[in-house]
Structure 1
Amino acid sequence: MTSAVRVAVLSLLWGSTFLWIELALDAFTPVQVTMVRCALGAALLLALCRAKGLRLPRERAVWGRLLVAAFFCNALPFVLFGIGQQTIDSGAAGVLNATTPLWSLLLGVVLGGERPLHAVRVVGLLAGFAGTALIFAPWERSALLGWGALAIVGAAASYAVAFVHMGRHLVGRGIPTLSLAASQLIAATALTALALPFGGLTPVRPEPRALVAVVVLGLFATGLTFYLTYRIIADEGATNAATVGYLLPVVSVVLGAVVLGEDVGPRVAVGMAVVLVGVAMTRHRARPRREQASTRGAAGGGPAGILAAGARAAGPYRSEG
């Protein structure tokens, strides 16, 4: 699966998350939704690991890092999203969740270890957020001033911390990304189980629509989503993985127009165009000056020089299974 296809699939799956959460909350508490979605996602990825003959990591240090990732990428933000969406709608949640790439950019600059930040990427990040804001028009939503909004912002920042941690301490260390994703959701299930006494023991109301929603949320919008997230972090870095969040409102608007026949006004259409341009800019790779100089030199040095320059350019990049 190419990087572009992974981003597209991840956007479709992740873009439906807020809808499934909203439906699941008709029968479950936020803690229960988090517990069930983590458990179902872990079960799916464990089955895929077994089918591929992959084993989970055994090192204690790796599991310690996975617990940190599970807390910031699953247990904490999932509960915060559930809490936040009790008082604000999914559209407001979407625009607040779009702060994740900006948090990731800030952490990447402070902590280092991210791909080099050049002007095109920075402008793309800012344009993506501006386009998202244009789609949702947060200035028209008074609910963005309440505790629910703060919970969603906290979840977005938590995602950014997790992505940077995963990129620095988990990917690229010889462990298959599928095994990492399965292990992280196992750890998240265990962490969430500890929170059951604080809101998870409420009786579940047997709502068929909510039950279907939580199953889809767990298997597809959690299990497959976090496997694809790991792959993108491994291949392109934490900030690029976070920029997928900018595509979520585009997915939401397109699905609403195609499936529900909702109108798309000029403001929303312009916002979608800005988002797409911004995401394209964040995926632009500027060549280092030394590489540019060597390539220019190779252009006058014959076929051997050109091949050598190409090998140097491709050298640092590898695909992880």
Structure 2
Amino acid sequence: MASVTPSRTSRTPRTTCVTTSPSPSAPEAAAAPAPRPTVDWRIRFAALSLIWGFSFLLIKVGTQGYAPFQVTFGRLLFGTAVLGIALAWKRERLPRGLRTWGHLAVAAFLLNALPFSLFAYAELTIPSTLAGICNATSPLWGMALSLVALSEDRPTRRRVAGLGLGFLGVLTVLGAWQGFHGLDFGGTAMALLASLSYPVGWIYVRRTLAGSSHSHLSLTGAQLLLATVQLAVMTPLFTSLPTRLAVLPLLAVVALGALGTGLAVLLQYGLVAEVGPTTAQMVTYFIPVIATAAGVALLGERLAWSTPVGALIVIAGAALTQARTRR
């Protein structure tokens, strides 16, 4: 559910969407200040948390009527449609240049097509609550990879402690002390791989598209368009047409795409632009809580004590890895 444009200010899946368009000059900025949003940023922050938190429930409902690739294709199709409307409304164009489109194709695969498909397949066999918690490990994977791949990220005691604490939380959620009893290894592995795919994509984007002159909306719209094309090619190869029209799962897929992929990206961009990536990235820590509550309350999923406890440990570890040392 991440769509990323180049940024050097954040390491989480929810806050790397920072516009790279050139800033107006000082006189221009003074003469034409940006219009103040009509909706308070706290309300939009809460809405984004709810939308992304409920996405895992929507994936579960969607896969009850359609194949995982079909769910992912529908999600990307409706998400791209929302961004297409936003591009037309703002009269922005898609980026130009084969090199840019080539990098965006890789980003689309790593940040959209692959993780969205893996989460859909994972939720065939694991609860939506577990999928939401696995998604919360993305900052941990991101920090571990960035310490190796990005020279500007230096290991500190706090970050190393956060990594250790976070992965201890993962073991707690999975019930390592009881030999992972009752755990579906295939579904869990796919959910964790999906979470790992996000930071791999972020690092790729930071290395290839940082400093692009194209706007966030333009790059993200092109990225989702390319991911939709990728799924349009893959879906017919591995699935057959549905034998019946499942209405509720279809509505879930529409909501997943239009809200969880399209509208969420626009909300995220607005939050980052208004309050900065540090505050906007806090949405990451609310997602597993909301996903767990939704799965238990609306889908009747069982919740062992180790799940919420482990989730809190994961969130605490992720928060430590994102903390910056004061100078």
Asked whether the two chains share a fold, i.e. TM above 0.5, the reply is yes
Q: Say whether the 8 Å CA contact 1:128–1:276 is kept in structure 2.
A: yes
Q: Within the alignment, does 1:250 sit opposite 2:282 as a pair?
A: no
Counting only pairs closer than 5 Å after superposition, residues 73-152 of structure 1 correspond to structure 2 as: 73-113=111-151, 115-131=153-169, 134=172, 137=175, 142=181, 144-152=183-191
State the partner residue of 1:285.
324
Q: SS at 1:180's partner residue?
A: helix
Structure 1: unaligned runs, 5 residues or longer? 293-321
| Distance verdict in 2 for CA 1:111–1:177, change over 3 Å | same
C-alpha distance in 2 between matches for 1:5 and 1:135 = 31
State the partner residue of 1:14.
52
State the partner residue of 1:51.
89
| Distance verdict in 2 for CA 1:189–1:129, change over 3 Å | same
Q: Say whether the 8 Å CA contact 2:133–2:311 is kept in structure 1.
A: no
Q: Say whether the 8 Å CA contact 1:247–1:275 is kept in structure 2.
A: no
| Distance verdict in 2 for CA 1:109–1:33, change over 3 Å | same
State the partner residue of 1:197.
236
State the partner residue of 1:162.
201
Matched to 2:132, the amino acid is G
| Distance verdict in 2 for CA 1:40–1:250, change over 3 Å | same
State the partner residue of 1:224.
263
State the partner residue of 1:29.
67
Greater shift in the superposed pair: 97-106 or 261-270: 261-270
Higher relative contact order, structure no. (Cα contacts within 8 Å, ≥ 6 residues apart): 2
Q: Within the alignment, does 1:41 sit opposite 2:79 as a pair?
A: yes
Please report how far the alpha carbon of residue 12 of structure 1 lies from its aligned counterpart in structure 2 after TM superposition.
2.6
CA root-mean-square deviation: 3.7
Greater shift in the superposed pair: 36-45 or 194-203: 194-203
Matched to 1:11, the amino acid is S
Residue identity over aligned pairs, in percent, reads 38
State the partner residue of 1:311.
none
1:2-26: CA deviation from partner (whole Å, max 9, x where unpaired):
9988765543322222211110112
Matched to 1:42, the amino acid is T
Greater shift in the superposed pair: 156-165 or 35-44: 156-165
Structure 2: unaligned runs, 5 residues or longer? 1-36
- Which is richer in helix? 1
| Distance verdict in 2 for CA 1:267–1:154, change over 3 Å | closer
Q: SS at 2:286's partner residue?
A: helix
Greater shift in the superposed pair: 52-61 or 116-125: 116-125
Q: SS at 2:183's partner residue?
A: helix
State the partner residue of 1:318.
none
Greater shift in the superposed pair: 9-18 or 206-215: 9-18
State the partner residue of 1:304.
none
| Distance verdict in 2 for CA 1:275–1:167, change over 3 Å | same
Please report how far the alpha carbon of residue 43 of structure 1 lies from its aligned counterpart in structure 2 after TM superposition.
0.6
Residue number among 180, 184, 188 corresponding to 2:219 in the alignment: 180
Greater shift in the superposed pair: 54-63 or 126-135: 126-135
| Distance verdict in 2 for CA 1:268–1:158, change over 3 Å | closer
C-alpha distance in 1 between matches for 2:307 and 2:189 = 24
Matched to 1:40, the amino acid is F
Matched to 1:167, the amino acid is R
Please report how far the alpha carbon of residue 282 of structure 1 lies from its aligned counterpart in structure 2 after TM superposition.
4.0
